[in-house]
Structure formats: structure tokens, C-alpha cells
């Protein structure tokens, strides 16, 4: 006979698994997909082939409310609630090969959940803030057209120091809660969650920080 708290934990685990939304095929193949690539820094890269658009803010499929200023990415349902390991609140890194700009965003919503959508597991839409950041000098044209001019590359990463310092919720690649301590995918030390912004984030997320303030 299992102790009561263990039974409870098992029931909760079963409930969490059962909560997978089977409406869309999963983009990940099994629970081991969260294992890192051999460099230990993150998943392998995806390349988009649908135009990268920006999405209207609101409360998304991850029950997370975002604004035009949020750092949010919207992925295929198979990467989010229909994934084997739900991607909600994981972090991704995006790079725009056209201008070399790199940005990070938290997965906050599902996109392409319409019949016959071409929006694949490899595709991404962005909140306005991240969209503008990645567009760089091209941002006014991109905003006018509602899409970036080329394809992006992106991959899942450990929540960056920046996300932790700004107090974003985040989860590890295996779906467990990320306490924001230890190093991120860029080797920057993360000193727990705070609610900093702007310059303060840059001060904290500095590669020279070797130990967390006591
Ligand atoms: C989706 O594709 C199927 C098969 O090609 C077609 O019959 C159907 O009308 C399409 N649905 C929409 C909403 O375009
Ligand atoms: C999930 O990943 C984190 C970070 O790699 C690790 O510390 C933790 O033990 C993992 N949890 C499970 C249940 O695999
Ligand atoms: C950050 O701010 C939010 C909203 O004001 C608050 O709920 C949260 O507790 C704060 N977190 C920390 C670590 O101060």
C-alpha cells in the first residue's frame, strides 16, 4: 500500500498526462525529446517556411496574458498543448539570418490551429516586441506588411537570465518548473526571479557575474 501522499502524486501525474490535447499531432516524438543536443545547450534548430507574422496580444492557449511589449512566441499546437511535453512557458531563441539579430521569447500561445493550415511544427509567430527586435532596420516595412521579409531559425533553450530577471514564468525543457537558478543556455548565471527591467536586467545578466548576491 502506497502512502497517501504518493498516491496523490501519482494521480496528479496521471491527470497532467491526460491533459494533453489530442486534437493535433505532437511535434515532439517522446518524453526524451527534452534531452539536450550533444553540446548541452539546447534542442536542434528549426527553420520557418511560413511567413513570420506578429500576433495580436491577449490571453493565449497557455493561459498567459501578453501585451505588445511581452517577449512571447506562438507555436504550432503540436509544440504546445498537443505536445508530448507541453511547450507552454518554455523559452526559445530565434535568429534572423538576414541581419544576424538574435532574440529570445517565452512560448505563450498556439498558432495555426485552423483547417488546412500550412503553419508547421517549424513555424513561429511573435509578439510585436520580438517581431520588431528581429526585424531590426527593416521594422517599419515589416510592421506595415505584418510579416518579416525572410525565414527565421529557432530552437528551445533554458530560460535566459533576461527572462528570469524580468520575472517571467518559465519551465525547463522537460516540462518541470524552472527555479531560475544556475546557468542558462548561454552560460550566464541566473540568480532567481525578480521583476527588473531595462538597464537593471543588463546589469544582472552580465557574463561577469560569477556568484549570486546573498
Ligand atoms: C481542407 O482540405 C481538404 C482536402 O484538400 C478540402 O476538402 C477542404 O475543403 C479544405 N478545408 C478548408 C477549410 O479549406
Ligand atoms: C528536468 O530538467 C532539469 C534541468 O535540466 C533537471 O534539474 C530536473 O531534474 C529534470 N526533472 C526531471 C523530472 O527529469
Ligand atoms: C513580480 O511582480 C508580480 C506582479 O506585480 C508579482 O505577482 C510577483 O510576486 C513579483 N515577483 C517578485 C519575485 O517580486
Q: Which residue has the higher pLDDT, 121 or 31?
A: 121
Whether residue 51 lies inside any domain: the answer is yes
How would residue 186 be classed by pLDDT, with cut points 50, 70 and 90? confident
**Does 41 map to a domain?**
no
Nearest partner of 49 among 124, 133, 100, 139, judged by Cα: 124
> Quick one: cell of 127?
509578439
User: Quick one: which H or E segment has residue 47?
Assistant: strand 46-47
Q: Label residue 193 by pLDDT band (50, 70, 90).
A: very high
- Does ligand 2 have an atom closer than 6 angstroms to the CB of 176? yes
Is residue 92 one of the residues assigned to a domain? Answer: yes
**What pLDDT is stored for residue 42 in this prediction?**
59
Low-confidence winner among 8-17, 113-122, 160-169 (lowest mean pLDDT): 8-17
- HSE, side-chain direction, 13 A CA sphere, residue 119: 19
The tens digit of pLDDT for each residue in 65-91 reads 999 999 999 999 999 999 999 999 999
For the cut 90, the answer to whether the pLDDT of residue 185 exceeds it is: no
Confidence of residue 204 (pLDDT cuts 50, 70, 90): confident
Q: Coil, strand or helix: which one is 204?
A: helix
Q: Is 198 helix (H, G, I), strand (E, B) or coil?
A: helix
- The pLDDT value given to residue 1: 37
Query: Is the confidence at residue 32, as pLDDT, over 60?
Result: yes
Please name the residue whose Cα sits nearest to atom 5 of ligand 2. Answer: 172
Residue to probe by mutation, ligand 2, list 156, 176, 179, 190, most atoms within 8 Å of CB: 176
* 160 is a domain residue: yes
Instruction: Assign residue 76 the CATH number of its domain.
Output: 2.40.40.10
Nearest CA to 158 among 41, 30, 37? 41
Residues 95-101 have a mean pLDDT of 97
> Rounded to the nearest whole angstrom, what is the distance from the C-alpha of residue 114 to the centroid of ligand 2?
34
Count of domains forming the chain: 1
pLDDT, residue 39, reads 53
Pocket of ligand 3, candidates 195, 196, 204: which has the most ligand atoms within 8 Å of its Cβ, to mutate?
195
Residue 15 inside a domain? The answer is: no
Question: Over 90: is that where the pLDDT of 170 sits?
Answer: yes
Nearest to 34 by CA among 76, 91, 77: 91
Task: State the pairing for strand pair 101-110/72-75.
Answer: parallel
Average pLDDT over residues 135-145: 97
Ligand 2: centre distance to CA 143 (Å): 39
Name the 3-class secondary structure at 45: coil
Average pLDDT, the chain: 86
| Residues spanned by the domain of 166 | 46-204
Question: 31 pLDDT exceeds 80?
Answer: no
Q: Are 72 and 58 in contact (CB under 8 A)?
A: no
Question: Does 192 fall in a domain?
Answer: yes
Q: Report pLDDT for 15.
A: 39
Q: Is residue 136 part of a domain?
A: yes
* pTM of the complete model: 0.86
Q: What is the largest CA-CA distance in the chain?
A: 65
Mean of pLDDT values over 139-157: 96
Examine residue 119 and state whether it is found in any structural domain, yes or no: yes
| 72-75 vs 124-126, strand pairing mode | antiparallel
Q: Please, where are the H alpha helices in 63-208? A: 128-135, 139-145, 161-165, 198-204
Which pLDDT value is given to residue 144?
Answer: 97
CA-nearest of 41, 66, 46 to 56 is: 66
Amino acid at each position: 500500500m502506497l502512502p497517501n501522499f504518493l498516491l496523490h502524486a501519482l494521480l496528479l501525474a496521471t491527470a497532467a498526462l491526460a491533459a494533453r490535447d489530442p486534437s493535433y499531432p505532437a511535434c515532439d516524438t517522446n518524453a526524451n525529446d527534452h534531452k539536450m543536443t550533444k553540446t548541452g545547450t539546447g534542442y536542434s534548430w528549426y527553420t520557418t517556411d511560413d511567413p513570420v507574422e506578429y500576433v495580436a496580444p491577449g490571453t493565449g492557449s497557455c493561459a498567459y496574458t501578453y501585451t505588445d511589449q511581452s517577449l512571447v512566441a506562438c507555436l504550432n499546437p503540436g509544440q504546445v498543448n498537443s505536445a508530448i511535453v507541453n511547450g507552454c512557458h518554455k523559452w526559445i531563441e530565434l535568429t534572423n539570418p538576414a541581419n544576424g539579430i538574435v532574440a529570445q521569447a517565452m512560448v505563450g500561445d498556439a498558432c495555426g490551429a485552423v483547417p488546412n493550415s500550412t503553419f508547421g511544427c517549424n513555424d513561429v509567430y511573435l509578439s510585436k516586441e520580438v517581431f520588431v527586435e528581429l526585424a531590426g532596420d527593416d521594422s517599419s516595412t515589416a510592421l506595415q506588411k505584418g510579416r518579416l521579409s525572410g525565414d527565421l531559425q529557432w530552437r528551445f533553450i533554458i530560460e535566459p537570465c533576461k527572462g528570469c530577471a524580468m520575472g517571467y514564468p518559465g519551465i525547463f525543457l522537460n516540462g518541470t518548473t524552472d527555479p531560475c537558478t544556475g546557468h542558462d543556455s548561454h552560460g550566464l548565471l541566473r540568480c532567481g526571479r525578480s521583476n527588473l527591467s531595462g538597464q537593471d536586467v543588463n546589469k544582472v545578466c552580465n557574463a561577469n557575474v560569477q556568484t549570486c548576491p546573498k
